[in-house]
C-alpha cells in the first residue's frame, strides 16, 4: 500500500490534536507526519499512542514533499498558508470556514456527498460541526424522501469554542462554588449554569453567523440551492458533543417506522430511540466516538405535510471536525487507487 506524507496545520489545538489521534487510530498509511503550529509551540513534543512527534513552526516552506495537509487553524492562518501548500503539490483538507462557500472548493461529508472529492482543485473544505452532525443524521432519510425544509435548534458544547471554552466553564464553576465573581473572556455572558443564544455575530435579519452556516453549507453539500433552513444556535454548559432538535419536511411521505429503519441501516448513524424507557441520544453517550446518535423520531404535529421531528447528538470535535477530515483523506486515497 502506498504511504503518504501528511501534515497537520494547527496541530496543537483541540481539533489538531484530535486529528493526530484519529490518524493513529485508523492506521492511516503514513510515510511521515508533520505537526505544524505557531512559533511559540515549535519544539514541543507530543506523545500519543506510544509515538512521539515534535512540533515545527509553520512557514511558507513547510509543505515541500507533503501529500495531504489537514487544516485545523483559524481562518487567517488558513488563508495565509493553504495557498503555499497547494502550490507545493499538497491536497489540503481544511477545517476553517475560509473556503467552505468557495464555488471551486468541494464541501464534503463522506456519508453524504463522497462523490464531490473528485471535484477538488487542491483544496477540500470540512463543513461546520453542527452542519455535519445534522446532515449525517438526515442523510438516510434524505436519500429516500428528499429534504425540502428544516427547522433546527442546536445545543452546542463549550468545547466548540476550543480549549478556552472548556477552561472558562471550569473556572466559572469553581468561582461560583467559592462565592467568587466569575470572569468572562470567551463567551458573551456567564456560561456556567446558563444558556447563551448566540454563537458568532448577528446579521441584519437577526441571525447569527453560526445559524446561517446550516442553510448555506447544507444547500451546497446536498446540492439543493432552494433548501429552506431556519436555525437557532445555543451555547450550553456541556463539555463535549453537540445536540440538535430538527423538524424536517420532505418532498415525499415518510413514516416514523420507515425513518427508524432507514436510520438503523444508515451509514455513520446509530438509532437510539426508546423514549418510553428513557433511551435517547445524549451528549455524554456520544462523546469520544464517531457515530451520530438519532432518536425521538416522531410525526410533526404543526400541520406540515411529510414532516418528522427528531433529536440527534454527535461529538463535534471528532465527527464534527477531525474524523470527518481524516475520512475525506481516506476518500482521496481510495480515489488515487482507482
Cβ pair 235, 79 in contact under 8 A: no
The label of the residue with cell 467568587 reads 180
Q: What's the residue count for the chain? A: 338
**For residue 338, which of 143, 114, 64 has the smallest C-alpha distance?**
114
**For residue 266, which of 144, 149, 132 has the smallest C-alpha distance?**
144
What are the beta bridge partners of residue 269?
292
Q: How far apart are CA 109 and CA 101, in angstroms?
A: 14
Q: How far apart are CA 57 and CA 62, in angstroms?
A: 8
Q: How big, in percent rounded to 5, are the helix, strand and coil portions of the chain?
A: 35, 25, 40
Segments in 198-322 forming alpha helices (H) = 209-222, 256-264, 283-286
**For residue 23, which of 309, 278, 312, 324 has the smallest C-alpha distance?**
324
Task: Compute the Cα dihedral for 111, 117, 122, 128 and give only its sign.
Answer: negative
DSSP three-state, residue 266: coil
DSSP 143: H
Q: How far apart are CA 272 and CA 142, in angstroms?
A: 19
Residues known to be catalytic: 129, 242
DSSP 96: S
Q: How far apart are CA 13 and CA 34, in angstroms?
A: 14
Cβ pair 182, 175 in contact under 8 A: yes
CA angle 222, 226, 232 (to 5 degrees): 80
Amino acid at each position: 500500500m502506498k504511504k503518504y506524507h501528511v501534515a497537520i496545520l494547527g496541530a496543537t489545538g483541540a481539533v489538531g490534536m484530535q486529528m493526530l489521534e484519529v490518524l493513529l487510530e485508523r492506521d492511516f498509511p503514513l510515510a511521515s507526519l508533520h505537526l505544524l503550529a505557531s512559533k511559540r509551540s515549535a519544539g514541543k513534543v507530543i506523545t500519543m499512542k506510544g509515538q512521539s512527534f515534535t512540533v515545527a513552526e509553520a512557514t511558507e516552506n513547510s509543505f515541500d514533499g507533503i501529500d495531504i495537509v489537514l487544516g485545523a487553524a483559524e481562518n487567517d492562518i488558513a488563508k495565509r498558508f493553504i495557498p503555499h501548500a497547494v502550490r507545493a503539490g499538497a491536497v489540503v483538507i481544511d477545517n476553517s470556514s475560509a473556503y467552505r462557500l468557495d464555488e471551486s472548493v468541494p464541501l464534503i461529508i463522506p456519508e453524504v456527498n463522497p462523490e464531490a472529492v473528485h471535484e477538488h482543485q487542491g483544496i477540500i473544505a470540512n463543513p461546520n460541526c453542527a452542519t455535519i452532525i445534522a446532515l449525517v443524521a438526515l442523510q438516510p432519510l434524505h436519500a429516500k424522501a428528499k429534504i425540502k425544509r428544516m427547522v433546527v435548534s442546536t445545543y452546542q458544547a463549550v468545547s466548540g469554542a476550543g480549549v478556552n471554552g472548556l477552561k472558562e466553564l471550569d473556572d466559572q464553576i469553581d468561582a461560583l462554588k467559592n462565592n467568587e465573581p466569575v470572569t468572562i473572556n470567551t463567551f458573551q455572558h456567564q456560561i456556567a449554569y446558563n444558556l447563551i443564544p448566540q454563537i458568532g455575530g448577528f446579521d441584519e435579519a437577526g441571525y447569527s453567523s453560526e445559524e446561517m452556516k446550516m442553510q448555506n453549507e447544507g444547500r451546497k453539500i446536498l446540492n439543493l440551492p432552494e433548501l429552506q433552513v431556519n436555525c437557532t444556535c445555543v451555547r450550553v454548559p456541556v463539555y463535549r458533543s453537540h445536540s440538535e432538535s430538527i423538524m424536517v419536511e420532505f418532498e415525499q411521505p415518510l413514516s416514523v417506522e420507515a425513518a427508524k429503519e432507514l436510520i438503523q441501516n444508515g451509514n455513520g448513524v446509530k438509532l437510539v430511540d426508546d423514549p418510553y424507557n428513557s433511551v435517547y441520544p445524549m451528549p455524554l453517550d456520544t462523546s469520544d466516538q464517531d457515530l451520530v446518535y438519532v432518536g425521538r423520531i416522531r410525526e410533526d404535529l404543526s400541520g406540515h405535510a411529510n414532516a418528522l421531528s427528531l433529536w440527534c447528538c454527535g461529538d463535534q470535535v471528532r465527527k464534527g471536525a477531525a474524523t470527518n477530515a481524516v475520512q475525506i483523506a481516506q476518500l482521496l486515497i481510495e480515489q488515487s487507487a482507482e
